[in-house]
Structure 1
């Protein structure tokens, strides 16, 4: 294997797309981001502290952001993780950093929430983006953060017009800067002619999620925090003045608890488990491209998406001339099988046919936490535990911001308030059925995308 992770038997993109891979084991079924991570000894052998001020369940961006805020305010904090630290979506995502404004068109959000609430939510979305930029700068985290801008491609001509109207609304109600790129000029943004123009959000950003997560861990531990990986919490029991955190390695009394598990939320706190449905997302990474080809396909090296209901997203790697292409996971195949990722290669080649002979080196998946109303939530559950979760696929900046805010709420600080605090957190009707229905709904959406209804 080369230093870049390429092997002679890596499948080409067209082989992966057509299911003609020669060797199922040639792909590395782990995130590309992990290649750059420093070796880290597991803390699973450490004793569980008998007491702490705040126990945090989940070691992703939410949990570590919350832990750092608490530690900077003098609170003893322990982060519990059932797998390796950051094993979930925080080191599996695409590293696209946005404000979370992409989920609803402005007019739809106003219809759902009213103009004042919609304005507050959208403006807070821009603050989320600024917050992560400021945190990375202040903590001096080397994670290749860059205000790359986002190009969202219109799949159909009518999508372009609808997007242009929405961008005007977004500027009017939330002051978000953007501009449109018509189809005749889109070669300045993307080396493909399959789209009908698109929009640019110049303040959106990109980073290396593995290095960002590693930097947060280093800051948490440097501030005196404890991160216990491979230490699953099996029960949280309310007691006088706090909670007993029960793990296989021992028990810990905590005055407060924060649940920060997002797409990996289970039945540990049943009232939260009923409010999250996990949806699989997957990414493939190509081998290194010739400089001329890379620059022609991604002239400004932004982050990218499209306007389909079942959308795909892609970007250039921050440390090499590779393309990372993501979308929903293949439903009828093992995540250690090339067939689980073939649809990603097919989508990629539909946009960039010149990549057909490029090797694919990595393929991985992870879980997104979806809420019934498709907005994130934070607050205090009836059981007394605090929570921040449900980022619906736009979690890099949201998780970082919500982690900070939920920690400030635990501390009862006024600046912990958000525009999301007073929002009802609805449960999924018939939650077990909703979980099983995800593949069916996704297939229906793909069909509607194909026939444009």
Structure 2
């Protein structure tokens, strides 16, 4: 194939549902095309895909950010690399996320992290988080990837007055232990950042960034191909047999033997062994994108074009589309509805209108969902299984910078390079006695967290 990137063939405005009607759950809208907005400019290629070579130095399972980042390092080191994906490369979370790029330090407050891991380890983890954010910018510049990367900054709104003070203390700790610059925005000042009165002020991380995830994936994929790796879509792994110094990967109609295997599948992990099945919980996340909003309105709502979030346990996040006056809004999906069902996106519309009531007549153009990979300890993990299979996964919803960084780190480990050392190496990858019930329990746990958010518990 001459190119691994295609332009989306869907109509430019496939939905046309007013936010207010979607928020009310009107019955006349029963389903959606579920097309990611990002695919307009960079849709995953549909193939056709030839059968891969039967032997390789390394087989990378998963052609998302992790797998491609690793494959790029390995191929440039002279390894014979085959990347396989169960769907089209990029069909999963890598081209379905919100395009918000943080430091990877967003899951725990600094003091909580110190209590959990001790001050020395906590500082190492925090500093590597900053390395993740800086590293993705460096990679984009080195590979000349046109993906609208910009250090736009992140505003995080406080949903309650007490949240504001907690954020202020945490940012002080983040600066003290990791040197991260930030500031607090009071409620009286927040209109300079966001045209909403929903929040009680908030925090600002000016170095956080945004990008176009579809274009970023496309750029990485093309770099991997140019480096000499082979990439194959529609090649789902059905099992792995390990023995001696080789691994045999079984597919529907063929097998591949490899010296090394990297599992880089995150929320789409399946059929690669019990070790991973017991440790990764797939959780569905959803997003919607509006039609173009008049410039004067958009300037009032998001005057500085940052990325945004909030302090709820079940939080929502949003941002402007790159170079367009469209709102991209995300949060957890309705787990009882498919990604093509209206019900999967009703709560997103409601949260958007709580934040920006003026948008009630603005129409939704795109709505879609994807799977993120959660772990029992809410940390990402990289390493090697007892069977000798390498892995990098478990980004818990902050995947762009983490996945790119972990892909590079695990590849360096596989090459025996000292630069592959990570502060995350010594974190055990825990399972749970009731792991089989984790996925079915997600809707109940999420519902309980939503109740606590509403009640302020």
**TM-score band, normalised by the shorter chain?**
over 0.9
Secondary structure at the aligned position of 1:420 is classed as: coil
1:22 maps to 2:20: no
Q: Tell which deviates more after alignment, 415-424 or 15-24.
A: 15-24
Contact 2:44 2:91 (8 Å CA) reproduced: no
Residue 186 of structure 2: which of 182, 188, 213 is its match? 182
Alignment correspondent of 1:34: 39
Q: CA RMSD in A?
A: 1.4
The alignment's TM-score, normalised by the length of structure 2, stands at 0.96
1:395 maps to 2:399: yes
Residue 93 of structure 2: which of 85, 89, 92 is its match? 89
Runs of 4+ in 1 over 3 A off after TM superposition: 21-25, 38-41
Number of residue-to-residue matches in the alignment = 449
**Structure 1 residue 43: Cα displacement:** 4.3
Residue 61 of structure 1: which of 62, 65, 69 is its match? 65
**Structure 1 residue 5: Cα displacement:** 2.1
Secondary structure at the aligned position of 2:189 is classed as: helix
Gaps of 5+ in 1: none
Residue 166 of structure 1: which of 160, 167, 170 is its match? 170
Contact 2:45 2:89 (8 Å CA) reproduced: no
Alignment correspondent of 1:448: 452
**Structure 1 residue 319: Cα displacement:** 3.2
Gaps of 5+ in 2: 1-8
Secondary structure at the aligned position of 2:220 is classed as: helix
Deviations 1:364-419 (A, max 9, x none): 11111011110000001111000000000000000000000000000010000000
CA distance in 2, matches of 1:136, 1:164: 32
Q: Tell which deviates more after alignment, 34-43 or 94-103.
A: 34-43
Secondary structure at the aligned position of 1:161 is classed as: helix
Secondary structure at the aligned position of 2:142 is classed as: helix
Contact 1:43 1:227 (8 Å CA) reproduced: no
1:295 maps to 2:296: no
Alignment correspondent of 1:73: 77
The alignment's TM-score, normalised by the length of structure 1, stands at 0.97
1:247 maps to 2:233: no
Pair 4,335 (structure 1): closer, same or farther in 2 beyond 3 Å? closer
Contact 1:231 1:249 (8 Å CA) reproduced: no
1:207 maps to 2:211: yes
Deviations 1:189-214 (A, max 9, x none): 00001101111111110000000001
Residue 130 of structure 2: which of 126, 132, 148 is its match? 126
**Structure 1 residue 253: Cα displacement:** 1.2
Contact 1:15 1:21 (8 Å CA) reproduced: no
**Structure 1 residue 246: Cα displacement:** 1.4
Alignment correspondent of 1:10: 16
Residue 51 of structure 1: which of 50, 55, 69 is its match? 55
